[in-house]
Amino acid sequence: MIQLDFGFGALEQEFWRLLFVMTRIGAALVAAPLFGIPSVPPQLRVIGAGAIAVLVCAWTEVAVPAALFSLSGLLAVLGEVVVGLALGFVLQLAFAAPVIAAEVIGGSMGMNMAVAVDPNSGTQSPALGQYFAVVLTMIFLGLGAHLQWFALIVESYRTFPPGETWLGTGRFALIAGFGVQMFATAATIALPVCLVLLTVQLVTGVLSRSAPALNLFSLGLPAGILGGLAALLVSAPVLTDLVTRLSREAILNAAQVIAP
């Protein structure tokens, strides 16, 4: 049994309890797409995790393991990390769908050559993917979905109290199923624009065969970009509805992960 004791009694016990509660919350914030991006300072994530942990300590009866630095205590901390990462990873799957759709659309339009640094992952992604990510982020925050996600983190302490944080194979399979849902949503977002681009490419191909003097590359690339932009403008209301549904499904999927 290894337990640190600095002689502060009840105050010290509350400190270790707060620190233990912050483990799950901090892991969720690190894995989440909005709060775990490199541009968010780690100090801000620590402050946010501490603020939510204060509320969790006040609203729930979470108890720190008797020997936090023993093997059983470290396993309990590992379980907290697993639950937090699962809640954050579900949001990552939802936010990845528009980026995948943008990759498909940008490749068909010839826009993948215009890249920018993705603030969510720190890697390069097409400029069109940045647009979709900004739309999803604004709608997600505007609907207050981030507050509902915080509420799910607090609720997870009732469903998975410390020491009972093994999600089980069924819940891991459920999270894997969310990945299939992500690809289906990405295909739904990209399908209307890709159909328009396919029509444009067929027309430019027929024109280039009927009039060989026309340069396929000088005609096809501008036509593809203009057709893609026109399709994006026409499908903007549909995109907004799909992104709104995606935000709702992200919260519902997170709720299914912690469902009793």
End-to-end CA distance of the chain: 32
Q: What is the pLDDT of residue 202?
A: 80
Q: What is the pLDDT of residue 129?
A: 74
Least Cα distance to 30 among 100, 69, 80, 65 occurs for: 80
Burial of 173 (0-12, 13-18, 19+ CB in 10 A): exposed
For residue 124, the cross-strand partners are 117
Q: Following DSSP, what letter does each residue of 20-41 receive, concatenated?
A: HHHHHHHHHHHHSTTTSSTTS-
Share of the chain above pLDDT 90, in %: 0
Token code pair at residue 193: 């624009």
pLDDT exceeds 80 at position 47: yes
Q: What is the pLDDT of residue 147?
A: 87
In a domain, 44, yes or no: yes
Amino acid letter, residue 142? G
pLDDT exceeds 60 at position 8: no
- For 88, residues 6+ apart whose C-beta sits below 8 A from its C-beta are 27, 28, 29, 30, 31, 32, 33, 36
Q: What is the pTM of this model?
A: 0.76
Q: Where are the alpha helices (DSSP H) in 110-144?
A: 127-142
Q: What is the pLDDT of residue 113?
A: 63
Burial per residue of 106-143, b for 16 or more beta-carbon CB atoms within 10 angstroms, e otherwise: bebbbbbeebeebbbbeeebbebbbebbeebbeebeee
When divided into structural domains, the chain yields a total of 1
- How far is the C-alpha of 67 from the C-alpha of 165, rounded, in Å? 17
In a domain, 93, yes or no: yes
Structural domain boundaries, residue 98 = 10-108+115-257
- For 144, residues 6+ apart whose C-beta sits below 8 A from its C-beta are none
Q: What is the DSSP letter of 1?
A: -
In a domain, 250, yes or no: yes
In a domain, 72, yes or no: yes
Q: What is the pLDDT of residue 99?
A: 82
In a domain, 1, yes or no: no
Token match 């999803």: residue?
A: 136
Rg, Å, the chain Cα set: 24
In a domain, 5, yes or no: no
Token code pair at residue 125: 């992604």
Least Cα distance to 247 among 172, 160, 146 occurs for: 146
> Tens of pLDDT along 91-113?
888 888 888 888 888 777 766 66
In a domain, 4, yes or no: no
- 197-217 mean pLDDT: 72
